[in-house]
Every structure is written in structure tokens, then in C-alpha cells.
Structure 1
Amino acid sequence: MQRSTVRRAAAIIAALLTLTGLTACAGRPQSGDPKNVKIAAINLLTFSPVYVADKLGFFKDEGLDVTIVPTTSGDASVQAMLGRSVDGATTGFDTPIELTAKGQAVQSLVGMEMATIYAFVGGKNFPAVPADDPAAFVRAVKGHKFGVASSGSTGDLIARGLFTEYGLDPEHDVSIIAVGTGAAATAALQSGAVDALISYEPDLTRITGSGAGKVVFDLRTSKAEQNYSQLPTSTLQATSAWIKSNPDIARSLVRAVARADTVLREKSDTALPVLKGLYPELSPQQIESIYSASRSHFRAEISRPTFDSAMKIYRGAGVETGQVSYEQVVATQFSQDWSAA
């Protein structure tokens, strides 16, 4: 074979190899491509770190293309996660504990609002009760219709636990009704579909501002109630199977949300414009007031003492009796990333 023919053959082979390589690469994401992730969330202040992380570009900084899938309750978020239509969910601190005890392995990746956010609101037919008197409040609930976001939600758990603690049987002494959140909850109180409900910001401001109800017992400020007033509220969660299959993506989510927690806690000039964009129906003054009361609650760390204290409350009230360990329900492999912001 002549040398020129050899050179032409080599060039053709090289071109074919290059084309083959490009064709093979076209069918799969490149190492620099963003990784697609879906997170189910309710647009409420307690879950705002994922929205803040998205709006401020923290997910993109971690190489993630995150889609936040809106839901109307924590229960809906959990069902989406368990059904694999989303990769993660923002919901109650107790959710992985409850699910793991039932054989569904779910873990918290990173903390969001790690303090109590709940208050009880009474409508026009609810009796007057003394301020910060949980026993009087629970007595007043007896025989009434009481609203929660959804059956099994964190608010439902807290309401049932508080009722039980002060001698009311939540199965027989009160009618507990799922009313959703936002406008649906406000409408349920206004129409008399429920006489009282448990809620949190910004729904509390919406309800009280509309005249649909008023706060009758506030766990956030209570000095008399020392159990449920101390519970952490919300975390970003995923199934243990998903975390095991996607450790790098999970770590990136943790780092982005931890940064958002830091912004919410320490950088009001950055956080407030994002929050005002998330809740345009509220006045800037209302948002500033809500945020001021909650900003110190946003912490990424989910410590063992926090878990142990919560479990003591759950078990003491007879709400959670499963033998679930800290390592089962908290993704401790990311603990160093909680402070990476």
C-alpha cells in the first residue's frame, strides 16, 4: 500500500472514531451538564430555604437544575416523594421518624426551620380563652370542629399531642378535619367549616388580617407549654434509596440549602427581597414582621440532641413510639456540609 493511501485511510478512521465518539456522547449528559432535581414544596415561610436557594442561584452554583413542584400540604409532598415523581420534599421534622417506623426509609438531609412555628387560631364561634393557658385552650376545643392542613401532617401531630397532653381524646372529643393551607384554610374558618385550626406563617397573617380568626394560643411564645413549643419544624428530605443512589446530588442540595439558611438567618438585606417576591399579597411591613420573628430559626444542623429531645416529646405524649435511631432518619454523612455555607 502506498504511503499516501495509508495516510488517507488513517484520516478516514480518525474521522469515523471522532464521529462515533460524538454520537455516543450525544445520548448522555456530559460531566458539566446541570443535574436535574425535583423538590416538592409548599410556598410557606418554614419551607422558604429551598425557594431562596433557587432564587439566589445557589442550586445552579452546585451544578443542579432544580424544579420546585408546588403542593398544598406536607402529606402531598411526601406522597410525591414516595411515588418517585419528585426526588425530595420539604416537610415536617417528624415525617422521617414516622415513615421509618412504618418501614419507609426516609431521611432528613438538612435543617430548615428548626424551631416551633405553630399557633392555634379560633374563628367567630370559638370561645374566648386566657392568654398562654394551654389547658384552658384544650378544654375550649372539646366538641368543636378543628382544622389541620392534612391528616398526618406535622400540625395534625402537634395538635393531637397537645390535646392528649391536656386530657382531651382527639379521636372522640373533637372533630379533626383536613382543610389544607392558604386560602382554603382561611375559607374553612370564615365559613364555619371548622371552629379553630392550627397554622403558621404566612397563613397566620393572612387569616388574622382578613378577620377570619384570631390567635388564641401561640406555641411560638408560650411559657406555660414546654413540650410542643420546643419542637423543630421542617427539613429537606429524600428516601434513603435515592440518597444512596445519588450521594453527590444529595450533598449539593445540602450545601445549597445550608447557604440559604445562612442568608435567611444573617443577611436580611438579601433575604427580604426574595421573601417579598414569594408573598406579593402581603405588605412589605407584614413580611418584615413575620421574618423578624422567625429568622433565627433557620439552621442547617440536625443535631443528635435535637433529635433526642424531639423523640422524648413524641414518646411522652404517646404520639411516636417506634424504635427509630438518629442515624436511621438523619443523613449524618452530610453533617460537615451543614456548616459549609
Structure 2
Amino acid sequence: MPTLRQIAAVSSVAFALAATSAAAHAEKITIMVGGATKIIYLPAKLTEQLGYFKDEGLDVEIQSQPAGVDAENELLAGAVQGVVGFYDHTIDLQSKGKEVQTLVIFGQVPGEVEMVSNAAAGTVKSMADVKGKTLGVTGLGSSTSFLTQYLAQRAGIASTQYTLLPVGADATFIAAIKQNRIDAGMTTEPTVSRLLQTGDAKVLVDMRTLDGTRAALGGTYPASSFYVQRAWAQSHKDEATKLAHAFSRTLNFIATHNAEEIAAKMPKDYYGSNKDLYVKALGASLPMFTKDGRMPADGPETVLKVLSAFNPSVKGKHIDLAKTYSNDYLPAATATAAK
């Protein structure tokens, strides 16, 4: 007769094979990220690296698109099932008659930093000094453009008194700073740390922390998130729930591990030849992440306030914020992540 140990071993193998088979037969879910190497969107790739999608029996493909606005268009076209981008897109799209819903909040703050070039740092000491300047954003109509305009408005500068220039992110943003095509611009980690290391730019407004964000925007500003079309979530409740659970587990992993441990899980092309810089940038960014994916209570109102100021689609429109996000797909409580 087989021993209990043998029976247990056979059972565990059978379970593993069943899980593998389930993942193999699962419908492929494509998620587009608005710049996969940005640390604000790190949970997307990290979830894949940790194997949490597979643990849920999901077959997920992560794709990258430099600007969130392009990823949003792919979602609306049905080319992808989900997007990792800024929560504010759900408000903007509702104003245009499109129902999109955030299921998981990654960042309780934007994680964005307004950087001023060394060449302009002598005259631009705050957003009150951007009159007549050229300000870099990832794309026109992007989250960075609305945030930039709002920061300037709070400093008393009208949107007609400066120029917005789309310069993308990462290498293209750095090139724009170095070539003096922009005087200042909004970007994220690890680009911020790269510019600080080379001395090409300085921090003007820091929205990587709760305190910095509240000072800049007047409240908590949920930003990086996972969103889908509401109709898809309602017709694919099982998949939507599994995705939310996988991401929530990753956020708990981030909350219970240090920057070095997290960086060790990422592909080498995310940090290139300078892993130390990546770890430093990641360490500076960790406070931005939620621990469980839930929407901060005061978040949606702050985001709506910013968009209502400058987004012509949202201004003056009634927005049902309750339809722009849902905590219902998240686990009631998140188990502590494994080491």
C-alpha cells in the first residue's frame, strides 16, 4: 500500500498539473501598460514576475505603450482587456459616454515630479515662474498635461502663458531636458533619479509622497491603477476578480519587502547597467503604493477637481464617481505575501 507521504506527493503533483492545465486553457487576457518600465506601473510586471497571474489560473500578456492615452484607445477598441494607467482616464471617459472602471489602485499619489532643467533652474524656482516657458508632458491630453496645468493655475499662471510640449518619457524626456527643448517637465522614476544623478535637472514639485501631493494638489490623488471597461468586468466577473486578487497580492508584497528585494524580481532590462540607481529610485517611490489596491476615500473628489479645471470634456459635466471605480473585486483581506 502507498504511504501517506507518497499519496501527498502524488496529490501535490496532480494539483500542480491541474493548475498548469487551467492556465493553459484560460482565455488570454492582454493588459496594456502606459510605459511598463515606469516605477509607478511596476506592479504590472512584478505580478507577472512573481507568478501571481498563473497562481490565479490566468494567461496574461503585458504589453507597453509609452502614453496612457494610447493605451486607453486600445482598450476602447477592444484590442486589450485591461489597462494599467492613471485613474483619471475613467473620469475623462465617462464624460465622453464611455464606461470604464478602475478595479485596483496602485498609487495613492501620482508619483510624478516636475523637474526643472539646470539651464532654467536659475529663473524657475516654483510653478509661479513658468510664464513664457516650455513645459514637457508625456502627451497632450495626458494625465501629466492636466496635472501640469493645474499646478500652474494654483500658482496663478494661466494656461495661455506657457507652452506644453509632448516629449514622452524615459530617454526622450531626458533628451528634451538635455537639448533645452523644455525648461521644465513632468516625469516619474527612474527618470527622476537619472536626471538628479547626472545633474541635468532639479526637483521643482515632488508628488511621490502623500505630504508632497497634498501640498501640490490639495488632497490625495490616486493615480496608477488597473482599469477595464465596466461591461467587460460585469461579463467576466471571475477573471476580473482573479486579476484584482493577483494585483492586490503584489501590492502586499511591495509593502512587506524592501527596494532591493523587489528589484531582484524585475527583469534586467528594467534597470539596465545601473541597478543601484534603480534600487534608489524604487526606494524613493515605495511610499506611493497602496497596500491592498483600495481607493483612498478622498481620492476621486481630488482627481475630479483637477480634471474639471482643465479638461474640456469634464468641465461642467456631472460625473458619477461611484461608477469610475470599484473595490468589490478585491479580496476582503490581503494575506501576507510570501518571501
TM-score under structure 1 normalisation?
0.81
In the other structure, the counterpart of 2:103 is: 109
Matched, 1:307 2:297: no
Are 1:327 and 2:322 an aligned pair? yes
Find the aligned partners of 2:97 and 2:91 in 1 and give their Cα distance. Answer: 10
Q: How is 1:142-181 mapped onto 2 (pairs within 5 angstroms)?
A: 142-170=131-159, 172-181=160-169
SS of equivalent residue, structure 1 residue 125: coil
Judge which range, 279-288 or 96-105, deviates more: 279-288
Give the distance between the partners of 1:142 and 1:282, measured in 2 at CA. Answer: 38
Mean alpha-carbon deviation: is it higher for 95-104 or for 282-291? 282-291
The answer (yes or no) to whether the contact 2:101–2:230 under 8 Å persists in 1 is: yes
Distance 1:64-1:335 versus aligned 2 partners, 3 A rule: closer
Letter paired with 1:180: G
1:291 aligned to 270, 274, 282, which one?
A: 282
Q: Match for residue 259 of structure 1?
A: 249
Alpha-carbon deviation of 1:87?
0.8
**% of aligned pairs identical?**
22
For 1:225, what is the secondary structure of its paired residue? helix
Alpha-carbon distance in 1 for matches of 2:63, 2:302: 32
1:214 Cα offset (Å)? 2.2
Structure 1, unaligned stretches of length 5 or more? 1-28, 131-135
Q: Per the alignment, in what secondary structure is the counterpart of residue 232 of structure 1? A: coil
SS in 1 for 2:135: strand
Q: Which residue of 2 aligns with 1:197?
A: 185
Report the alpha carbon displacement of residue 275 of structure 1 after superposing the two structures with TM. Answer: 3.9
C-alpha distance in 1 between matches for 2:321 and 2:297: 7
Aligned-pair distance for 1:308? 3.2
Moved runs in structure 1, 4+ residues, more than 6 A? 29-32
* Superposition deviation, residue 340 in structure 1: 6.0
Residues 116 and 183, structure 2, Cα contact 8 Å, conserved in 1 = yes
Matched, 1:33 2:22: no
Q: What pairs with 1:1-341 in structure 2 (closer than 5 Å)?
A: 33-41=25-33, 42-43=35-36, 44-128=38-122, 137-170=126-159, 172-220=160-208, 222=212, 225-227=215-217, 230-268=220-258, 270-275=261-266, 277=268, 279-281=270-272, 283-299=274-290, 300-312=293-305, 314-315=307-308, 317=309, 320-321=314-315, 322-336=317-331, 339=334
Deviation at 1:129, TM superposition (A): 5.8
Shift of 1:182: 0.9
Query: Which amino acid in 2 is paired with 1:290?
Result: A
Instruction: State the distance in 2 between where 1:122 and 1:311 align.
Output: 27
1:12-62, CA deviations, whole angstroms, 9 ceiling, x for partnerless residues? xxxxxxxxxxxxxxxxx9797233110111221111111011011000111
Q: Which residue of 1 aligns with 2:17?
A: none
Corresponding residue SS for 1:167: coil
Q: One-letter code of the match for 1:78?
A: E
- SS state at 1:52 partner: helix
SS at match of 2:319: coil
Count residues with an aligned counterpart: 306
Deviation at 1:196, TM superposition (A): 1.1
Offset of residue 219 of structure 1: 3.2
1:310 and 1:113 mapped to 2: Cα distance?
Answer: 13
Output the CA distance in 1 between the equivalents of 2:302 and 2:62.
31
Residue 109 of structure 2 aligns to a residue whose secondary structure is: coil
- Which structure has the larger Rg over C-alpha atoms? 1
Report what 1:4 is aligned to: none
The answer (yes or no) to whether the contact 1:254–1:337 under 8 Å persists in 2 is no
1: CA distance between counterparts of 2:50 and 2:214?
39
Cα RMSD after superposing both structures: 2.6
Offset of 1:141 from its aligned partner?
A: 1.1
Scaled by the length of structure 2, what TM-score is found? 0.82
Query: CA 1:67–1:143 in structure 2 vs 1: closer, same or farther (change >3 Å)?
Result: same
